[in-house]
Structure 1
């Protein structure tokens, strides 16, 4: 009888690689973890993920510890039910699919800050550059298009 091995990457059982067969085997995880920026302020040691509906708390913990070497203290999950949409033009009801959200509390002393993907650039343009000329032009256009305070809010096309 061949030995059976369980890995944290797949939840299925498979046979151990036997010599003599020239094929190479790569076992990739069947799941995905999507890092989500939380809408509500979270503690600095908590990270929010959107995960597959079939993943359990133990699968999430093993996934992060084995693949990414992240120390995990606790995992909390909840299922977010998708809202039902109104009927469409063919009188069919539609529904947004459900998904699972995982809140991962990191190990002691670990903190997480969401990465700033689009950092703000310095907004001061160099004098004489194209950005500076564009900014001056836009300011003069805004000044030119301001309504005349003497007309009392009546538009120009009214002809007063």
Structure 2
């Protein structure tokens, strides 16, 4: 289904209409543990189960055994600036079941970089804890003086 306006067809003129669907799929990492042959997609609200299945089979040549959809209702909140009630757009999720022998696993893209960044972060935290403990040890015998009043 498309919401775009097309020019009116005139007899004898060139074909001006182009089919541009508003369908899209986005692969998302599931929040809960799923079997290895289940893949989760966020999709447009207009897509039905049959549309999702045809989309994956025709465009990406992915065989689908079963398609299940759900609509995630987002929160209603109060706008911090104006003060009126705002509701975020709802999200439609499609769960695709692949054939028995196939499975999907998200690739680990940042193996070494994440480990290095994590170790640097841990070193900074340890140094901060060490400095705070030294500050406490230096000021433990002066309970009535503020911490900034040190020599």
The count of residues paired between Structure 1 and Structure 2 equals 131
How far is the alpha carbon of 1:99 from its aligned partner?
A: 1.7
How far is the alpha carbon of 1:119 from its aligned partner?
A: 2.6
Please name the residue that 1:15 is paired with: none
How far is the alpha carbon of 1:58 from its aligned partner?
A: 0.7
TM-score by length of 2: 0.67
Gaps of 5+ in 2: 3-12, 117-122
How far is the alpha carbon of 1:143 from its aligned partner?
A: 5.5
Distance 2:65 2:75 in 1: 32
- Per-residue CA deviation, residues 7-40 of structure 1 (Å, 9 max, x unaligned), is xxx78xxxxxxxxx988x9755431101111111
TM-score by length of 1: 0.63
1:159 aligns with 2:150: yes
Please name the residue that 2:50 is paired with: 58
How far is the alpha carbon of 1:114 from its aligned partner?
A: 1.4
Farther-moved stretch of structure 1 (41-50 vs 78-87): 78-87
Distance 2:112 2:19 in 1: 41
Distance 1:30 1:50 in 2: 14
Within a 5 Å distance, the mapping from 1:83-98 to structure 2 comes to 83-98=75-90
Residue number among 95, 116, 137 corresponding to 1:149 in the alignment? 137
Distance 1:107 1:66 in 2: 16
How far is the alpha carbon of 1:156 from its aligned partner?
A: 5.2
The 1:143/1:113 distance shift into structure 2, 3 A limit, reads same
Gaps of 5+ in 1: 1-9, 12-20, 124-135
How far is the alpha carbon of 1:152 from its aligned partner?
A: 2.0
Please give the root-mean-square deviation of Cα atoms over the aligned residues, in Å. Answer: 3.7
1:115 is paired with a residue whose SS is: coil
How far is the alpha carbon of 1:116 from its aligned partner?
A: 2.3
Residue number among 115, 118, 122 corresponding to 2:110 in the alignment? 118
